[in-house]
Structure 1
Amino acid sequence: MQCMAVHQFAPLLSLPNCSRISSDFGRLFTPKTSRKSRSRSSTCHPIQCTVVNNTDRRSANYEPSIWSFDYIQSLTSQYKGKSYSSRLNELKKEVKMMVDGTNESLAQLDLIDTLQRLGISYHFEDEINTILKRKYINIKNNINYNLYSTALQFRLLRQHGYLITQEVFNAFKDETGKFKTYLSDDIMGVLSLYEASFYAMKHENVLEEARLFSTKCLKEYMMKMEQNKVLLDHDLDHNDNFNVNHHVLIINHALELPLHWRTRRIEAKWFMDVYERRKDMNSTLLEFAKLDFNMVQSTHQEDLKHLSRWWRHTKLGEKLNFVRDRLMGCFLWKVGVRFEAEFSHFRRVSARLYVLITIIDDIYDVYGTMEELELFTNAVERWDVKIMNELPDYMKMPFLVLHNTINEMVFDVLKEQDFVSFKYLKKTWVDLCRSFLQEAKWYYSGYTPTLKEYIDNAWISVGAPIILVHAYFSFANPISKEVLELLEQGYPTIIRHSAMIVRLANDLATSSEEFKRGDAPKSIQCYMQETKVSEEEARQHINFLIREAWKEMNNEHGNPLVDDAKNFARMGLFMYQHGDGHGSQDNRSKRRISEFIINPILLIKNN
């Protein structure tokens, strides 16, 4: 079953340690339940079992990659060299003059918003921060009764870490404490309020009311447009009523997923297409955004070719034909976390983590016997290549590739930071394998965990601790003692909230199909079994948990770990918005990869 609209998701509450979630969240659950036992077809002894016996194994029937090594290596881009870099610098100077020369308050906010949506605001971070800091200092002296500008300023300030109070929206309420009904006539103001509401933190009731009010107004507007036969016309240049259709397109996009939850790189590509059709489009901004996108994409292609050569060298795709060969999808995750050209080395090295997580996941979830999985978990715990002789043949190469890859990353951190990160990186892989093993035990016994039991384990098995802890040691300079203390105790809560968003989004998109083929139950089935509710009600509850997790993450700002955690959550929502964007190779997945990694944007639109 396809996942519900992701904009209905909700975030998870704080998780105090690796094995427990908060007591508030725990009260949502009922006692444990069990279900009839199932068994796998494979019964061979772990050490004797080799790939020769694969006819006795389970299979998810994963298709080979549609992206060949030769094709990836053949990727080229014309957007390199001095001519393009010189033009980009010229455009950058022109845009900087726009930013510095815009004095009117709303115009400044609109320009900042446009720069962010076009994906080029990172070039002007100092200028933007100066403007927003000045607005925050002066905000108490400026009472604004314009809903659009108030909400836009609130969103931009919250996004940049300024804790502007939610009470700024009380000016738009009536004497009963409800948002004034006439506001629905200002549809772009309501849309601005809707986008701002997703920066809510825990117990901010005004923003929760704003979300409900604005969502209702926007949906009613869309219904009215549909009744009036105003459809989404992608050829907006030839539409007589441009503004109405533009509003419909923007609102429909927002209702699918709010801006705060969207990946910057993905949003930029979409918004360029919309912005180009606006009558008030600024051609300098658009050319700069397109050229910047294409030039950064050329760097991504070189990163991808480097990763592809590593993957071919490991021969894991050739030796393990039961695993997903999803190199392109794994790389796209990394582009979503950090797309800027300066992070090329980070993408080249850390994208391997996604590949290894996927392979090991398939070993535990699809192919391995219980005895073999216990051996592999023990091998990772001991981190000793001597134990390889105890592993089945098909496990030896994955273990050695994992061992060498992480040791190489430890060396990189030591070389750059003069810090030995080994025990922290190793811990993430031990935790991952233990969580995979727990899922296998549930599967073999036929046990359906409670939702709390499932979540206690699943936020680790989604791989977020590995991705974010490795990323932190790559970027943090200096490495924070506070973060190290949190890692000693478990994991920072920002990692747990990010992980839960990705895990629950994954479940909403994939759990029905996985359950049909005999996989262990996911969050939806756990909650249905436990509370005896319908699948629709269970999905609504999972959406609620995602919203709550975002509220928790909105409390944190201002360091690489927080930025990466939020971007990882955003990528999860993107990858699973319309199904299994990681494991699938359908037309949608192919189109996404083509748009963001392979095909450049035309600088001049063909008429």
Structure 2
Amino acid sequence: MALLHVLSNIIKPAQNPVAVPRESTAPNYPLNAPNMVKYQQKQLEMSHLLEQVQEGSLKEVVIIDSMQRFGMDHYFEDQITQTLTQQYKHSQTLLYSSDHDLYAASLRFQLLRQHGFHVPADVFNRFKGENLKFKNALSEDIRGLMSLHEASHLCIEDDKDILDEAFLFSTNFLTARLPHLDDFHASMVQNTLNYPYHKSLARFTKINYLKTHNLEKDWEKLLADLTRMDFNVMQCIYREEIHQVFKWWKELGLSEELKLARNQPLKWYLWSVAMVTNPTLSRQRIEITKPISLVYIVDDIFDVYGTLDELILFTEAINRWEVADKLPSYMKMCFKVIQDTTHEISNVVYQEFGWNPIDHLKKAWASLCNAFLTEAKWFASGHSPRAEEYLKNGITSSGIPMVLTNLFFLLGYGESTGTTDVEGIISSVAAILRLLDDLGTAEDEEQEGNDGSYMEYYMKEQQGWSLSDGRQHVLDKVSKEWKLLNKHCLSPTTIPTSFKTACLNVARLVPMMYAYNDNHRLPVLEEHVKFMFSHNKEDLMW
């Protein structure tokens, strides 16, 4: 994975440009001056409210947790960090004292670990009995079990199975209690099991949180009001961004040239929305959608269109960064789009941050196409690679390293002292995508091309394994990659927080992007899209 080494010494913070929202079609809070003032006033009210809460209290962490679940935490990042720093100073008392129940201990653990504070998993040992198992008496504490379940998703390899046990314990008892709960509380529990905060996207799932929680306190109503205002602000921003993405895609003409290739600009843009959540980073969302789109198109070229000889020529052209006369016209067209888009992104980075990443981006594209070609040669020759050989190549062919390389530079990070952390975090995200894709859920593509599967190759190496055994092995590997990803993202490193968050968000979106039903649709994701993009009337995603 030579590409991953491209990012091993390029960390440098930079200021973010601001995208100015334009005209909104939102009915409640259009972006006129009075409502923008009201919007800003609500943010100040929320900030002042948090300041007034008693330092070290449980209420502090409850409010911060709600801010995160409503997707409002980015407006209060500095204040949240200061508050949790004070909570951490008192963590020995707050987390280990028998005066604090399972809910309080789990919630504090979750928030502190999410924000990079070192909190060992053994804080949960006091909730175990003499048999070193979680006490059955906890099964009556629904709120505590829900909080424990949330905390269990922050597991890293160093946790000595404590959080794995917490996950199984909380899942089993919450599932068992579901039939005995009223509809409202059952919905809360089901939402926790289906959409744990750490592995979900707040902008996609906040509607579920609103539906399953009674907002009775004044601060909850204030936060909900701010969330509704923010929703309409973001609708306006998304509308303008989608317009620009669709305009760019239509003007390229690739969908006309490649009739069998995917034509899903809204779906591609969703990756950008998930990765880059800061409202001010419109330019970044628009620009990163372009290489994302091209990954899908190049994948279709390798999988559907090209002969092996043509694919070799195309890959050589990408490596030389120079078009070859022998390429068929559709490949020449695609090569030119890749080249133009890459130079455009490099120019954006240069204009905004003062240096040009073109060499890194060219290497990223070369690595991706080399990986695609390796797979094409395997399939053409009938060769079945070893499962781990396939996965190593598949991490690059997932497109994640190439896309995240582009994003890293678009966020303004560059040369610095050096770290291998970037390589690890990208590799884990890519492995999660490749493994879940390979579970056979991505059946929407309805194409004639051939795709390998990690599970298929792994099961060939085993004796007497069932399909269920193979699926469980893949899920176990995904769990392991999540632990590695958590370690990179939740531990102090030189990786910028905005990039770590983007990587986590990619991993969070993957299950929704590959949860196809029998009709080759994505019902869970479609429901979120209808909520987030209510102004978009066309079914351009699938």
Shorter-chain TM-score: which interval? 0.7 to 0.9
Note if 1:329 corresponds to 2:267: yes
CA distance in 2, matches of 1:248, 1:114: 19
Secondary structure class of the residue paired with 1:598 = coil
Q: Is the 8 A contact 2:129 2:135 kept in 1?
A: yes
Q: 1:309 aligns with which of 244, 247, 252?
A: 247
Q: 1:471 aligns with which of 397, 407, 414?
A: 407
Identity %: 31
Q: Which residue of 1 is the match for residue 175 of structure 2?
A: 219
Trace 1:145-544 onto structure 2 (pairs within 5 A). 145=98, 146-205=101-160, 206-222=162-178, 225=179, 228=180, 244-275=182-213, 277-278=214-215, 282-385=220-323, 387=324, 389-477=325-413, 479-483=415-419, 486=420, 492-510=423-441, 519-532=450-463, 533-544=465-476
CA distance in 1, matches of 2:379, 2:446: 11
CA distance in 2, matches of 1:439, 1:311: 28
Opposite residue 146 of structure 2, the aligned amino acid is L
CA distance in 2, matches of 1:345, 1:360: 24
Q: Which residue of 1 is the match for residue 53 of structure 2?
A: 102
CA distance in 2, matches of 1:405, 1:418: 19
Aligned residues: 505
- Per-residue Cα deviation, 1:278-321 (whole angstroms, up to 9, x for no partner): 55583222111011011012101101111111111111111111
CA distance in 2, matches of 1:167, 1:591: 39
Opposite residue 220 of structure 1, the aligned amino acid is A
CA distance in 2, matches of 1:516, 1:531: 29
- CA deviation after TM superposition for structure 1 residue 556, in Å: 2.2
Secondary structure class of the residue paired with 1:342 = coil
TM-score of the superposed pair, with normalisation by structure 1: 0.78
CA distance in 1, matches of 2:382, 2:524: 34
- Per-residue Cα deviation, 1:116-170 (whole angstroms, up to 9, x for no partner): 1011111111211111100101112343331000000000000000011111111
CA distance in 2, matches of 1:579, 1:432: 29
Q: Is the 8 A contact 1:264 1:336 kept in 2?
A: no
CA distance in 2, matches of 1:426, 1:165: 42
Q: Is the 8 A contact 1:314 1:401 kept in 2?
A: yes
- Per-residue Cα deviation, 1:539-584 (whole angstroms, up to 9, x for no partner): 1111111111111111224613322211111111232245599xx5
Note if 1:80 corresponds to 2:31: yes
CA distance in 1, matches of 2:119, 2:535: 41
CA distance in 1, matches of 2:488, 2:449: 39
- CA gap 1:111/1:92 in 2 versus in 1, 3 angstroms: same
- CA gap 1:586/1:547 in 2 versus in 1, 3 angstroms: closer
Q: Which residue of 2 is the match for residue 555 of structure 1?
A: 487
Q: Is the 8 A contact 1:148 1:193 kept in 2?
A: yes
Q: Where does the alignment leave 5 or more consecutive residues of structure 2 unmatched?
A: 6-22, 490-494, 537-542
RMSD: 2.7
Q: 1:129 aligns with which of 68, 74, 81?
A: 81
- CA deviation after TM superposition for structure 1 residue 427, in Å: 1.2
- CA deviation after TM superposition for structure 1 residue 177, in Å: 1.5
Q: Is the 8 A contact 1:263 1:574 kept in 2?
A: no
- Per-residue Cα deviation, 1:258-292 (whole angstroms, up to 9, x for no partner): 221111211223323333x5555832221110110
Q: Is the 8 A contact 2:215 2:221 kept in 1?
A: no
Trace 1:9-20 onto structure 2 (pairs within 5 A). none
CA distance in 2, matches of 1:421, 1:580: 43
- CA deviation after TM superposition for structure 1 residue 344, in Å: 0.3
CA distance in 1, matches of 2:3, 2:169: 36
Q: Is the 8 A contact 1:372 1:391 kept in 2?
A: yes
Secondary structure class of the residue paired with 2:281 = helix
Q: Which residue of 1 is the match for residue 14 of structure 2?
A: none
CA distance in 2, matches of 1:349, 1:193: 39
- CA gap 1:469/1:596 in 2 versus in 1, 3 angstroms: same
Q: 2:93 aligns with which of 133, 141, 144?
A: 141
Q: Is the 8 A contact 1:431 1:460 kept in 2?
A: yes
CA distance in 1, matches of 2:276, 2:455: 31
Opposite residue 499 of structure 1, the aligned amino acid is A
Q: Which residue of 1 is the match for residue 539 of structure 2?
A: none
Q: Which residue of 2 is the match for residue 117 of structure 1?
A: 69
CA distance in 1, matches of 2:4, 2:415: 22
CA distance in 1, matches of 2:190, 2:334: 44
- CA gap 1:475/1:255 in 2 versus in 1, 3 angstroms: same
Q: For structure 1, which segment, 333-342 or 471-480, has the greater mean C-alpha deviation from structure 2 after superposition?
A: 471-480
Secondary structure class of the residue paired with 2:158 = coil
- CA gap 1:586/1:260 in 2 versus in 1, 3 angstroms: closer
- CA deviation after TM superposition for structure 1 residue 511, in Å: 5.6
CA distance in 1, matches of 2:523, 2:88: 46
- Per-residue Cα deviation, 1:454-499 (whole angstroms, up to 9, x for no partner): 111111111111111111111244543315xx59xxx611000011
CA distance in 1, matches of 2:249, 2:469: 42
- CA deviation after TM superposition for structure 1 residue 340, in Å: 2.3
| Larger RCO (CA within 8 A; separation ≥ 6) | 1
- CA gap 1:573/1:513 in 2 versus in 1, 3 angstroms: closer
- CA deviation after TM superposition for structure 1 residue 348, in Å: 1.3
Secondary structure class of the residue paired with 1:482 = coil
Q: Is the 8 A contact 1:506 1:580 kept in 2?
A: no
- CA gap 1:272/1:344 in 2 versus in 1, 3 angstroms: same
CA distance in 1, matches of 2:185, 2:391: 39
Secondary structure class of the residue paired with 1:203 = helix
Q: For structure 1, which segment, 457-466 or 80-89, has the greater mean C-alpha deviation from structure 2 after superposition?
A: 80-89
CA distance in 1, matches of 2:525, 2:300: 20
Secondary structure class of the residue paired with 2:402 = helix
- CA gap 1:576/1:384 in 2 versus in 1, 3 angstroms: same
- CA gap 1:86/1:18 in 2 versus in 1, 3 angstroms: closer
CA distance in 1, matches of 2:442, 2:413: 40
CA distance in 1, matches of 2:354, 2:518: 40
CA distance in 2, matches of 1:515, 1:297: 32
Opposite residue 535 of structure 1, the aligned amino acid is L
